Amino acid sequence: MTANDYGFDTLAIHAGQDPDPRTGAVVPPIYQTSTYAQDAVGAPRLGYEYSRSGNPTRDALQECLAAIEGGRRGLAFASGLAAEDTLLRAVCRPGDHVVIPDDAYGGTYRLFAKVAENWGLDWTAVALDDLDQVRAAFRPGVTKLIWAETPTNPLLNIADIAALAGLAHEYDAMLVVDNTFASPYLQQPLSLGADVIVHSTTKYLGGHSDVVGGALVTANDELGEQLAFHQNAMGAVNGPFDAWLTLRGIKTLGVRMERHCDNAERIVGFLREHPAVTEVLYPGLETHPGHEVAAKQMQRFGGMVSFRAAGGQEKAIDVCNRTKLFVLAESLGGIESLIEHPGQMTHLSAAGSALEVPADLVRLSVGIETVDDLLADLEQALG
């Protein structure tokens, strides 16, 4: 099934998920097995030998991921960072260089600064919404990737995917887009020229805060084969039950994202008028510097909202500690609303670096609860 044949919600429900041919089960089974009986030496049945190398439940998820992103190959991993690490070691070599966002997710920054750098991979952090900065950071023949997040985590900056893809390809490099915040429902970077998409499937794709996973989706078969080799060789694969849970979540991605966006827009309007808030960061606002680009490449503006608290870090932490419906927790993209202080939580690894986030910043993952209840919770927490 491809995007040329069916709409997004149809693909999310059916791609890779035909009824079980033996029993007629509408939901694909969980193949909770480590190994497979072979018909003869050198003749594995349907190509299945060992579940690190291949598993029918994971294959169903991978086919669905490729379909909903409009890609050629989807690959599922144990976590988003496992997917990122596999990608870097598949396409880069010691001595290569990567351009990353100057407000990247803290875990991505840690991977580059504390792991990949020790392996010999160099990197430069720049504002990806400034193409002149990106071009100035390029080292022709050495820079292999532009690594983009859009919207970024947690400052919700927007990068122009098509423009970055053109710049990367001008230098025979690739564009990688972390599409976790937008989800494939709101944004499809491959159609805009990106070469690889990264997901933490833990977030909107899984959608229920009950499974950890990651994914890569590629625009061409050759790169897909290269990444599949490394997926097997490095081994950080998605387990069958995790794959099944993620597939279950993807089925309702479209309807959930509409509600996430509806609720986020109401909350943004409330926060903009509250005296305890100095700034609201949301690409749906016409005052947001990336609004026009976001409107061009996104269907809607997402369920993530960040704001800066009047009163600095102390007030920001106090708000996080006072909410009742907004759960104080890391992660995002689940049906329940979450609140966090990035500087002390998800982005602590970036403290003291050029990627350090403002101390007064609060990040909301807006869930699908009754929005009036969420507004009342924020009202009492802001005081």
Which of 237, 198, 214 shows the shortest CA–CA distance to 55? 237
Residue 353 is predicted with a pLDDT of 85
Residue 346 is predicted with a pLDDT of 83
Residue 2 is predicted with a pLDDT of 66
Q: Give dist(CA 15, CA 43) in Å, integer.
A: 28
Residue 352 is predicted with a pLDDT of 87
- Written as one string, the DSSP assignment of 88-127 is HHHH--TT-EEEEETT--HHHHHIIIIIIHHHT-EEEEE-
Supply 151's token pair. Answer: 């919207």
Residue 259 φ/ψ region, left for φ over 0, alpha for ψ in the -120 to 50 degree band, beta for the rest: alpha
Residue 35 is predicted with a pLDDT of 96
Residue 95 φ/ψ region, left for φ over 0, alpha for ψ in the -120 to 50 degree band, beta for the rest: left
Compute CA distances 212 → 30, 106, 121, 199, 372, whole Å: 16, 17, 27, 11, 30
Supply 176's token pair. Answer: 């990688």
As averages over each run of 10 residues, the pLDDT of the chain (383 residues) reads 83 95 93 96 93 97 98 98 98 98 93 97 97 97 98 96 98 98 98 98 98 97 98 97 98 98 98 98 98 98 98 97 98 98 89 89 98 98 95
Instruction: Enumerate the active-site residues.
Output: 52, 105, 178, 203
Q: Are 207 and 332 in contact (CB under 8 A)?
A: no
Residue 126 is predicted with a pLDDT of 97
Residue 120 is predicted with a pLDDT of 98
Residue 355 is predicted with a pLDDT of 82
Q: How many Cα atoms within 13 Å fall on the side-chain side of residue 259?
A: 17
